[in-house]
Amino acid sequence: MNRRVLAALAALAVFGIGLLAGTSLRGGGDAQRTSPSAADVGFSQDMIVHHQQAVTMVQLVRGKLSPQVDAAAEAIAADQLREIGRMQGWLVLWEAPQIAEAPMSWMGGAHHHGETPMPGMASMPELNQLGSSTGTDADVVFLQLMIRHHQGGVDMAAAAAQQVSNPHVRDLANAVVAEQQQEIGTLTLLLQQSGAQPLPAR
């Protein structure tokens, strides 16, 4: 595995532990009052994993992107780290595992995405390519992978908004849809300015 990928994953794990310690109880009482459904738990578990990959992607290209793309990347990482902490806190309060035994089962288990377990996720070869890219290539590869990643995240969150029972989880799912659709527009414009086109959805 690419050393940069390993370093990014390790840094994210350490940051996540600290974030969980500081946020697990913040606003958690309201979420705990409504017993979680399988969709509440499964969506939270799977979206944490989905968000963590987005943060890893930002870490892989930190210091290598053009100013405009870097600003967009850092904003994405900040938003998703905050949401990771919120979902991790819910899982602690629900006494649920942080990682799902059967990823995506809350969506019916009928969602197979080839090399990756969730829609929009980058494969390990793609992460290695991202970590080794430089210059304009770093901008293009990052934007292409993040646009596709966000498209998958929107699909997951839109499905969750229709299935979950906890109002706080539903609010977060709807927020993810709105935020990531807006970010897709921004990232697509930046990609077009680089003379490249988005990847096919996964």
Residue 15 has pLDDT above 60, yes or no: no
Task: Give the span between the Cα atoms of 138 and 32, in whole angstroms.
Answer: 42
Residue 11 has pLDDT above 70, yes or no: no
Whether 86 is covered by a domain: the verdict is yes
User: Residues 71, 142: contact at Cβ < 8 Å?
Assistant: no
Q: What is the pLDDT of residue 27?
A: 45
Is residue 199 one of the residues assigned to a domain?
no
From the CB of residue 196, how many other CB atoms can be counted at a distance below 10 Å? Answer: 16
In a domain, residue 200? The reply is: no
Q: Phi then psi for 60, rounded to 5 degrees? A: -65, -25
User: What tokens does 127 get?
Assistant: 């992460």
Report the predicted TM-score, pTM, of the whole model to 2 decimal places.
0.84
| Residue 33 in this model has a pLDDT that exceeds 70 | no
| Higher-pLDDT residue of 55, 21 | 55
Instruction: Tell me, yes or no, whether 202 lies in a domain.
Output: no
Residue 49 lies in a domain: yes
Q: At what angle do helices 135-163 and 38-60 cross, to 10 degrees?
A: 170
Ramachandran angles phi, psi of 73, nearest 5°: -65, -45
Q: How confident is the model at residue 22 (pLDDT cuts 50, 70, 90)?
A: very low
Dihedral sign (CA 153, 156, 162, 164): negative
> Is residue 90 a contact partner of residue 28, using CB atoms and an 8 Å limit?
yes
What is the DSSP code (8-state) at residue 117?
S
> What is the residue whose two structure tokens read 């969709």?
39
Place of tokens 């807006």: 182
Mean pLDDT of 97-113: 80
User: In this predicted structure, which of 24-38, 58-72, 75-89 has the lowest mean pLDDT?
Assistant: 24-38
CA atoms within 13 A on the CB side of 96: 25
Is residue 8 in some structural domain?
yes
Determine the structural domain holding residue 25 and report its residue range: 3-193
180: phi then psi, degrees, rounded to nearest 5: -75, -30
Task: Name the domain count of the chain.
Answer: 1
- The residue whose two tokens read 């293009």 is 140
In a domain, 42, yes or no: yes
Q: 107-158: per-residue pLDDT in tens?
A: 875 555 556 789 999 999 999 999 999 999 999 999 999 999 999 999 999 9
93-122 burial, b for 16+ CB within 10 Å, e for fewer? bbebeeebeebbbbbeeebeeeebbbbbbb
Residue 133 CA to residue 136 CA, distance in Å, equals 8
As a whole number, mean pLDDT of residues 13-25 equals: 44
Lowest-pLDDT choice from 27-31, 153-157, 180-184, 186-190: 27-31
pLDDT band at 10 (very low <50, low <70, confident <90, very high): very low
Q: Strands, DSSP E only, in 46-167?
A: none
- Percent of the chain exceeding pLDDT 70 equals 79
Domain with 102 in it: what CATH number?
Answer: 1.20.1260.10
Residue 112 placed within a domain: yes
